[in-house]
A and B are shown apart, each in its own frame.
Chain A
Amino acid sequence: MAIDPVTLMAALIVASTPILLAAIGELVVEKAGVLNLGVEGMMIIGAVSGFAIAVQTGSPTLGFLAAAVGGALLALIFGVLTQFFLSNQVATGLALTLFGLGLSSLIGESISGATPPPVARLNIPGLSEMPVLGPILFSHTAMVYFSVALVIAVWAVLKFTHVGLVLRAVGENHDAAHALGYKVIRIRLMAILFGGACAGLGGAFFSMVRVPQWTEGMTAGAGWIALALVVFGSWKPGRVMLGAYLFGGITALQLRLQAAGIAIPVELLAMSPYLITIIVLVIMSSGKSRAALNAPAALGKVFHATG
């Protein structure tokens, strides 16, 4: 009846990766002062375009590339509307999700039922066969390692580099950044595209690795979880990663508890991932550091270079 911690850990990492990819992309977008609620739509477009191209070409790599491009293209619509036509970011983001869900159904109509090419798993002689660490750490697809590397890269760029400083400046006070001569709109557009590409990759992880098949609406709200994680992780890459792993971990754990026949009410188990993730992250950000007030000051505000 016991739960095997090794398979649980391996499942946790797989369950968390798509949310982590989407969340780290959205973190960069929000750090630049833009609120894009279209994550779900960009993920599902990534899921369908990655799947379609992988099936057509037989190459998972091309599939993931297509997913990133697909997500970025959808994000470009959002970017043009909000940055050049100064549309409302909340409304535009919501519309983007609805549009993405509909468009993906249309694209996916002809390919449902197809089987994507298998995505290779890491196989390092020696390491991958190790008893406990092997299955947990060294037997995943390249995308899992990429997602972790991406989190570290985003953290390092935001904290230590000039590019990161400029991005944060734009997100904190776009008028000041503009006065200093930085191209606010161009920087934000780049961030929006990056966020779209990340969300697209996260979506493709669903359709090519985790499930792997195409079904309408298959991201099933993962984009909204990613959005929430950015806020509850108080815009810090490390915390966002912790939140994603916590959410994925409890999702995997609750199903295992059910499968093991442990007598906890199913209703409680089913809501536990949401509840526990939120509680942990809220407690973490309620301390003296005032991380809850960490939101970029210009988040969601429209920038127009006047004068």
Chain B
Amino acid sequence: MKNITKLLTGAALATGLATSAFAQDDPLQVGFVMVGSINDMGWNTGHYHGLEAVQEHFGDAVETTYVENVPEGADAERVLTQMALAGADIIFTTSFGFMDPTNNVAERFPNVMFEHATGYRRDHPNVSTYSARFYEGRAVMGHIAGHMTESNIIGYIASYPIPEVIRGINSAYHHASEVNPDVEFRVVWAFTWMDPTIETEAAQALIDQGADVIMQHTDTTAPLAVAAEAGAIGFGQASDMIQFAPAPRVSAIIDDWGPYYIERVQAVMDGTWESGDTWDGIGPGMVGIGEMTDAIPEEVRASAQAMVEAIAAGEYHPFTGPINMQDGSAWLADGEVADDGTLAGMDFYIEGVTGDIPN
């Protein structure tokens, strides 16, 4: 594995120019662009584990490179261009904000395959998009949270008001209130994916307001550290965060990108790679549920596990009606299942969630 830091990319470029992207004997070049540090213990660590899975699966047949801490914007385009020039055969861009740079660079390198995480633009035949149905995991966490709260107040640290985050709040609330109608959600918007200080203070504020379960859609383990001290519980986010088990971390939503990355790299090797959109959940294994610890009562573990299996088998969809919108108007009729289009653009709370979504 070759680790190119941002500073060294220029130097790597100079030596990499000579590499032909299609030389048969050379290992396949697989590039990753990360928005944060691979050591964040959350989102970026999850993608890095995917990189490691690719390297382990293919051994000498591939050469993986990554660039971390790449800002979302023009700088990303520069990094992507350098990676493509240096001979990358397939590049995974692992943050929503890399959407436009990915498509711009893809146009100029039609022989390089691009895979963009959590986006929706596929302007060129060499761009694919992929994401995970995290809301399936949130449903399970919400179920556990609803059962375990004693104060009936669940604190939720949200990042940005985008559909993915709103979907998570709705899914968690729906399943918490299903098992505990008295449950109340308090949402704090941190306006960051990763800032341990803000996350710490948000968690502390929620606990001071009476929350005894903390859910988070931000990337660091800071909220779990606060929960540990206060005797509250929480969940691992993006990565397992197992160092906080058995409590406060009672379970986790784990992003498992490895199998998808291996499949796509294999497709490039076989020459069968095609542009497409993948949105996988618990069933195919892209969303994993971290071990439920003994801190959860046994019957709750059993019912949560049953939900995991029902979702995996495709027998249960977390957004199954009847569900109303926040203002009380009907959204899903009894037994109706939300369609992917609505979910992908979700910009409303469901009935029972209080507060407004910031613009």
Closest Cβ of chain B to A39, distance in Å, is 16
Question: Would A258 and B200 count as touching, CB distance under 8 A?
Answer: no
Considering the chains assembled together, what is the distance between the CA atoms of A210 and B211 in angstroms? 20
Stretch at the interface among A105-113, A157-165, A191-199: A105-113
Residues of B within 8 A of A261 (CB): 186, 354-355
Which chain B residues lie closer than 8 Å to A285 at the CB level? Answer: none
Q: Which residues of B contact A222 (CB under 8 A)?
A: 197
Given contacts A11-B205, A105-B37, contact A266 B197 (CB under 8 A): no
A260 CB–B CB distance under 8 Å: yes
A211 lies within 8 A of chain B by Cβ:
yes
A232 at the interface (CB under 8 A from B): no
The reply on B178 being an interface residue by CB < 8 A is no
Give the chain B neighbours of A4 by CB distance below 8 A.
208-209
Query: What count of chain B residues pass the 8 Å CB interface test?
Result: 36
Q: CB within 8 Å of B: which of A104-157?
A: 105, 108-109, 112-113, 115
Decide if A213 is an interface residue (CB 8 Å cutoff): yes
CA gap between A267 and B359 in the complex, in Å: 8
Chain A residue with Cβ nearest B187:
A258
Contacts of B206 in A (CB 8 A): 259
> What's the least CB distance linking A213 to chain B, in Å?
6
- Residues of B near A108 (CB, < 8 A) are 39
Minimum CB–CB distance for B193 against chain A, Å:
12
Please provide the chain A residues from 1 to 60 with a CB less than 8 Å away from any CB of chain B in the complex.
3-4, 7-8, 11, 15
Give A8 to B205 CA distance when docked, in angstroms.
8
Contacts of B197 in A (CB 8 A): 206, 210-211, 218-220, 222
Q: How far is the CB of B222 from chain A (nearest CB, A)?
A: 5
Number of interface residues of A (CB under 8 A): 37
Separation in Å of the B52 CB from the closest CB of chain A? 16
CA distance A218 to B222 in the complex (A): 11
Beta-carbon contact of B208 and A15 below 8 Å: no
> Do the beta carbons of A270 and B189 come within 8 Å of each other?
yes
- Chain B residues positioned under 8 Å from A7 (CB to CB): 204, 208
- Distance A261 CA – B198 CA, assembled complex (angstroms): 18
- CB-based nearest B residue for A108: B39
Residue B221 CB within 8 A of the other chain: yes
Q: Does B195 contact A (CB under 8 A)?
A: yes
- Is B352 interfacial (CB-CB < 8 Å)? no
In the complex, whether B201 has a CB less than 8 A from a CB of chain A is yes
Which chain B residues lie closer than 8 Å to A217 at the CB level? 37
How far is it, in angstroms, between the C-alpha of A222 and the C-alpha of B197 when the chains are bound? 10
A259-B209 contact given A112-B41, A216-B37, A216-B39, CB 8 Å threshold = yes
Measured CB to CB, the closest approach of chain A to B106, in angstroms, equals 29
CA distance A150 to B97 in the complex (A): 44
Q: Does B196 contact A (CB under 8 A)?
A: yes
Task: Judge if B123 is at the interface, Cβ distance under 8 Å.
Answer: no
Inter-chain CA distance A200–B195, complex, in Å, is 19
Q: Spell out B's residues near A (CB within 8 Å).
A: 36-37, 39-41, 69, 155, 186-189, 191, 194-198, 200-202, 204-206, 208-209, 211, 220-222, 225, 243, 354-356, 358-359
A-B contact pairs, 7 of them (CB 8 A): A8-B208, A211-B222, A213-B196, A215-B220, A258-B186, A259-B206, A267-B359
